[in-house]
Amino acid sequence: MSPEATGIAPEEAPSQTTPAQPTHPGGSREMTYLEAISDALREEMRRDEAVFCIGEDIGAFGGAFKVTDGFAEEFGAARVLDAPLAENAIIGAAVGAAVEGMRPVCEMQFSDFIACGFDQLVNVAAKLHYRQGLAAPMVVRLPSGGGFSGGPFHSQNPEAWLLQAPGLKVVAPGSPADAKGLLTAAIRDANPVCFLEHKGLYRYLREPVPEGEYVVELGKAQMIREGDELTVIAYGSAVGLATQAVDELEADATVLDLRSLAPLDTEAVLEAARRTGKVLVAHEATRTCGVGAEIAAIVSELAFEHLDAPVRRLTAPNLPIPFSPPLEQAVLPQLADMKEACRELLDY
């Protein structure tokens, strides 16, 4: 299928393409998930003057979660734009700038508020290439997820909304290194990219992250653990839960981190499913019409003969996220839930 048919713009000049393998000049330092995102954004703003940030309180205040702390001092107010409380205007301004050759990075203080900018994102940015042959190189950063008692208006995982819009790319890193590499790739991509960064991972995850330029290809899953009896397919916050569960159970299991939801690495999903015959799909987002449902359908359609058990999903129920910490933990998938789901499939 041609790029025009999918609404996805083709790769640009070689200087803007994403390499097939992660690349970096060598050396690393320990960073949190939040620091890795900030580092990628700073590196790209230094590398390319067309990159700029726009969002609410991202200038002098440094952003709601301090991702852009110090950016205004280094890059100036012209490239770190404090916007009014109007997500539709933020996304709309970014679309216009992207069409004119800039590379805006929009920050939604919370992913929930992308609903206020949905028209500009879904009906304008996502359709520009299909309708007019125009590239729209822009990133929308979406701090998503629960686990911190943010309640129903600050804890959603909106990926299922976004996956319904042809022309959008959607990524959801589950580690600091991937957060840096995928954000770099997203900024350099010719298409609008929705970058889901889980708030619960911001200061919780810490690991060595390559310094300098580091790019991870969009659309490629990563095998975190390799085993032969069970495959756990996860992304975002569920990756850590899956890895810990498999390790504590000492299970002969594969953990596949999707990293990219659109485009989806269907080949990696099917290879793992066919090899182990048992598949658990795990994510924090609600169950209805989610990524897990899509993967379950793909595996059931294209790898049915290889399955030794029904595809199982571990997700949040289709409920608002409660403010109460005990109720929130009861709604969101926990480590005990992941271990139980793995055990049940292994014993099937």
Q: Which residues are catalytic?
A: 154
DSSP helix/strand/coil, 198: strand
Distance CA 322, CA 315 (A): 16
Give me the residues paired with residue 313 across strands. 281
Q: H or E element: which one contains 72?
A: helix 71-75
Q: Name the burial class of residue 205, with classes exposed (0-12), middle (13-18) and buried (19+) by CB atoms within 10 angstroms of its CB.
A: buried
Sorted by sequence, the CB contacts under 8 Å of residue 181 that are 6+ apart come out as: 22, 40, 173, 210, 214, 215, 216
Give me the residues paired with residue 141 across strands. 107, 195
CB 29 within 8 Å of CB 208? yes
Q: H or E element: which one contains 234?
A: strand 230-234
